Structure 1
Amino acid sequence: KGVAGDRLLLFRAEADPTFGGVAPEPSTKNMQTVLQALQSRPEPLKLGVIIDPDADRIRFTDGAMEIDMNMFGAMAYHYLHEKKGKQGLVAKTVATSNFANAIAAELCENTFEPAVGFKNFKPVINQALVLFEESDGISVIGHTPEKDAYIGLLLALDMLLTLRLNLGDYLAEIRRQYGAYYPARGGIAVSQMGDELKATLAGLKKYAAGAKVRVGKNLQTIDEVITIDGRKIIFADGSWLMIRPSGTEPKIRFYVEARTEKGKDDLLDAAKEMLAEIGLAKRNL
């Protein structure tokens, strides 16, 4: 039937090779215009997205909250498995939220968790229902083996029209069943590169399974360590932090995921403290 002109709102849709002077990427900063526009709308169901210029990354909002791919990828997997009756594993990169892992485990399905980079999904392209990474890329079984913003948009629209729920409400429903996960990320610039940086990062090997790490006011026990891409340290409560060198610039990136909103900052501080111990960051005062 089409969409009434006053209900389809386009922002920055004109050709502009300078991108208005901002980084053309899905980000909280770039989401603000869409958020504000939706907040003033009276419709009960709302969907807003921001897509990067080459349309391979997408981020979502329902006007009440921002939903990045850490959450949406897990939602898409739950939707295809539980609402559409599809069977199969889920694929997400190691730096991506473990929310999808928790859902897959409850559904007695497997999780494929490779190093960062969409190309690393190649072994399960025709097996995984959903393939996604925390940097806002997604694809699905039977679709292109590359990340595609528009398949994400179609999935989100199908969720709204089928469930008659906004994305935030659907996310809340899934969290009630499988638990809440709160991811975040950060990074620091470093002067070391190559073998020198690799040798310095080897100092993190002391953080092995069974070791204790101070996170906020508590000592957390390391339950598991994954080393396929940097070092992902998973704690007994399901929270984790991951430290890896950037593949594109002189930076160390760290990713964290807490089981509470406040816990994100504690994990980010713990990651910085680990880097300070091996001489790659300043100590928190």
Structure 2
Amino acid sequence: MDYRNKMNEWLESSVIDLESKAEIENIKDENELKDRFYRDLEFGTAGLRGIIGAGTNRMNKYVVSRATQGLANVIKKRGTEAMERGVVIAYDVRFMSKEFTDVASRVFAANGIKTYLFSDIRPTPMLSYAVRYLGAISGIVVTASHNPKQYNGYKVYWEEGSQILDDIANEILSEIKKLKYEDVEIMDYKRTVESGLVEIIKSDLDESYYKKTLSKSLSEDIDKDICVVYSPLNGTGNKPVRYVLEQRGFTNINVVSEQEHPDPTFETVGYPNPEDIKAFEYSIKLAQELNADLIFATDPDCDRVAMMGKKSVGEYYAFNGNQTGALLIHYILNRLNDKNIIPFDAAMVKSIVTGDLGREIAESLGVSTFETLTGFKHICSLANLWDKTREYKFIFGYEESIGYVYGDHVRDKDAVISSMMIVEMAAYYKKRGKNLVEVLEEIYREFGYFKEDLTSIVLEGIEGSERISRMMKYFREQEFTSFGKIELKERIDYLNGYKDVAASNVLKYYLEDGSWFAIRPSGTEPKIKLYIYTKDEDEKRAVEKLREIKEDLLNKLYSIN
């Protein structure tokens, strides 16, 4: 359907309120109107994510209610028991998060499905834990993670506590496509309260989550006075992270005051992504004043965490996701090994675009490593599988985009437990006269210098999406023989799956010297991502190879209009 016809149909709907209609009628930019109506906001395996506003390609209460009705239909197909088990909903600090949560709960109530709500904002990993703790059939987090303030989203989880995979996502999508906005069942607020179908979660769930998290600590022989600066980036992490660190006995945790409390505008940071060094501006300033040993920041829904370590007085090194993952793996597995409690069937899982240093560390200690597609829905799917087969024991999962989980009580990346382990790790080494920069250098000397680069090319709107498609098509069709003066050894196209890894729009190139790179469109943002990895016994040579490969690849990509 032409976007104009779709817009007119939307404006003529009896369900859409006058305020939303007025928002559209006041838009004079034809490109803006086209972008709002040229498609329905896509429901994928990550659920929904988009800019807040009126229109079919925006995040609003109508899109949320329709998606919720689709999920409700899927649950009802599974019978009364599934409906009684219910759905847990959590939300973050963003604009409209509470409103979208309210709409979703009222749709479930109208469909006779039990809903559990938190009393206030919560980190995403606590939703994952809650689904398992309450035995719910499904869960939802209303969040757009680290996207800018104009975004919000809706992530769906299944009974294992992990995000839905393609089978459930496709089933929900099939139901959504059958629905018009007028088909959605929604109960008014008063009847929702009277029905008893909506229940506020009791504090015992929080207490259980904290107890499980604290039980994962590995050493008390640490410097608990270590000076740490923490920024929640105005998100959900402030109270949970500080509580856990306080319970661990850390006495010198200093929170960036400007970024301490919830703020949907993210005024002091703009783009609230701790993967971006710009997010650390306020943290670095405070750390320099305190001569802090460690800085870390969690993203708005507190499932991702990044850190910086002191090199010398006033100087800090920003660890990337691969380095932080390798440090955590090295610390956790060596402490487990010291206690002689690494399970014989221990395994860790990483994504196919995550570096290999963590794998080499794990395998040196007898721990198997498995790869999955990008995203913790895939990483934790192996933990779910091993629950049934008992073939392996899931110890650790991570990906280069600063997501980590230690233990199997949460089936998603968890910045609460990761923050605890990061501070414990830094405090352990400080007790031994080392900082994390020095520890990383020791790891490199033992395993080789692993260098990496992640470059994202942002291409927004319809034209951007089409250009990203042309880039992927170009690389699939070309018969390359070398990159950055290094001969190509093998190309893997995951479009139809590869070995045990499911299908995805990813290309991976292995070079003769052991270097490799991957190209993939982002699943949640308007960008194409380029991951480059090199390894060498000589650090300077590893860096030079990285530069040469990147330069070659960018020249090829930017030549595609």
TM range (shorter): 0.7 to 0.9
Cα 1:79–1:226 shift into 2, 3 Å: farther
Segments of structure 1 that go 5 or more residues without pairing to the other structure are 281-285
Which residue pairs with 1:271 in the alignment?
553
1:124 corresponds to which of 345, 357, 382: 382
Equivalent-residue separation in structure 2 for 1:74 and 1:23 (angstroms): 26
SS of the residue 2:446 aligns to? helix
SS of the residue 1:17 aligns to? coil
Higher relative contact order (CA 8 A, sep 6+): 1
Does the aligned pair in 1 maintain the 2:333–2:362 contact within 8 Å?
no
Does the aligned pair in 1 maintain the 2:394–2:408 contact within 8 Å?
no
2:328 corresponds to which of 51, 71, 76: 76
- Tell whether 2:111 aligns with 1:111: no
Which residue pairs with 1:89 in the alignment?
347
Cα 1:157–1:36 shift into 2, 3 Å: same
Name whichever of 196-205 and 182-191 sits farther off: 196-205
When the two chains are superposed, the root-mean-square deviation of aligned CA atoms in Å is 2.7
Q: Structure 1 residue 206: deviation in Å?
A: 5.9
- Tell whether 2:472 aligns with 1:201: yes
Q: Structure 1 residue 177: deviation in Å?
A: 0.8
Q: Structure 1 residue 55: deviation in Å?
A: 0.7
Alignment map for 1:46-85 (pairs within 5 Å): 46-63=293-310, 64-85=316-337
* Residue correspondences, number: 269
Q: Structure 1 residue 225: deviation in Å?
A: 3.0
Does the aligned pair in 1 maintain the 2:490–2:511 contact within 8 Å?
yes
Which residue pairs with 2:253 in the alignment?
8
Equivalent-residue separation in structure 2 for 1:66 and 1:199 (angstroms): 34
- Tell whether 2:283 aligns with 1:34: yes
TM-score, normalised to structure 2's length? 0.44
Give CA deviations for 1:105-159 in whole Å, capped at 9, x if unaligned: 4344432111111100133226332111122111012330111111111111221
Equivalent-residue separation in structure 1 for 2:548 and 2:370 (angstroms): 28
Equivalent-residue separation in structure 2 for 1:249 and 1:161 (angstroms): 36
Alignment map for 1:228-267 (pairs within 5 Å): 228=494, 229=504, 230-259=506-535, 260-267=542-549
Does the aligned pair in 1 maintain the 2:322–2:355 contact within 8 Å?
yes
Cα 1:108–1:203 shift into 2, 3 Å: farther
Q: Structure 1 residue 166: deviation in Å?
A: 2.2
2:266 corresponds to which of 13, 19, 43: 19
Does the aligned pair in 2 maintain the 1:90–1:100 contact within 8 Å?
no
Does the aligned pair in 2 maintain the 1:256–1:264 contact within 8 Å?
yes
Cα 1:146–1:105 shift into 2, 3 Å: same
Cα 1:178–1:40 shift into 2, 3 Å: farther
Identity of aligned residues (%): 26
Cα 1:197–1:174 shift into 2, 3 Å: closer
Equivalent-residue separation in structure 1 for 2:305 and 2:450 (angstroms): 20
SS of the residue 2:510 aligns to? strand
Alignment map for 1:153-168 (pairs within 5 Å): 153-163=419-429, 164=431, 165-168=434-437
Segments of structure 2 that go 5 or more residues without pairing to the other structure are 1-223, 225-248, 311-315, 387-392, 495-503, 536-541
Give CA deviations for 1:27-75 in whole Å, capped at 9, x if unaligned: 21112332343344456xx221011121111001123311132111122
More helix by percentage: 2
Does the aligned pair in 2 maintain the 1:242–1:254 contact within 8 Å?
yes
Q: Structure 1 residue 189: deviation in Å?
A: 4.2
